[in-house]
Amino acid sequence: MIEIKNLKKSFDDIEVLKGISTTFETGKTNLIIGQSGSGKTVLLKCLTGLITPSSGEVLFDGNDTTKYNFQQRQELRGEIGTVFQGSALFDSMTVLENVRFPLEMFSKLSMREMNKRAEEVLERVNLTKESFTKFPAEISGGMQKRVAIARAVVNKPKYLFADEPNSGLDPKTSMVIDQLLHELTVEYNTTTIINTHDMNSVMEIGENILFLKGGFKEWEGDKNEILTADNEAVIDFVYSSKLFTKLREVLLKEKSNSTNKF
């Protein structure tokens, strides 16, 4: 579990995060959503330790990581898996070498053991052995995302972060990636936090949703509650397309009919 308490972050005189408090639960897919400039990326970077908050607490299973020394931060990094936007694979490494890299950094396994673990995880994300020796440029965007996910979970992390994991993917492939992240979250019992603007992801795997606006926590709930949320900012974000607007009309009509029965 990860908790943040009154988290603030400023760059010079510009306040980006304005006292956010929430809890990200273990074993569930926690989503951070909001329009561009809402503070999503800065919040994710504060959680992963890439940015130091101006004030507030970031608690990983009750331990305030903002007070960690260098050694403690290094140990924490070994418990974190990250799926970067655009996958961020090493072009000069094969698929297998990319996935093995975190093990070389943080484990004491032999080369044989590292290769075995990397192969197991690649097979888990449904990649064939023929792809193991290929370079990132030789595989599709969807396959690159799977490699990035395999690399993020190869160390069996307690905490998994994903920044716009569906960026650049077609809707069908995006759904596959969403389900894969959800399955791995349950399988490894990780605290998974996903930064996204994809409403399909919200509706598919949004077990806990944090909606940011202008650096504030505007709303939080789950994928069922967000469809009928009584919040103007949430409504504007969720129902920006005609499809979801029609869906809202149907849901509100059903809700009204249900209420009138009593």
Does residue 93 register a pLDDT over 90? yes
Does residue 230 register a pLDDT over 90? no
Q: Is 239 in a helix, a strand, or coil?
A: coil
Higher-pLDDT residue of 187, 252:
187
Which domains are delineated in the chain? 2-230 (3.40.50.300)
When the pLDDT of each residue in the chain is averaged and rounded to a whole number, the result is 89
pLDDT at 150: 94
pLDDT at 191: 96
Asked if 153 and 184 count as a contact pair (C-beta separation under 8 A), the reply is: yes
Does residue 249 register a pLDDT over 90? no
Q: Is 207 in a helix, a strand, or coil?
A: coil
Does residue 243 register a pLDDT over 70? no
Instruction: Return phi, psi of residue 44, to 5°.
Output: -60, -40
Q: Give the DSSP H/E element, type plus range, for residue 22.
A: strand 14-24
Give the Å distances, CA to CA, from 51 to 6, 92, 252: 16, 28, 41
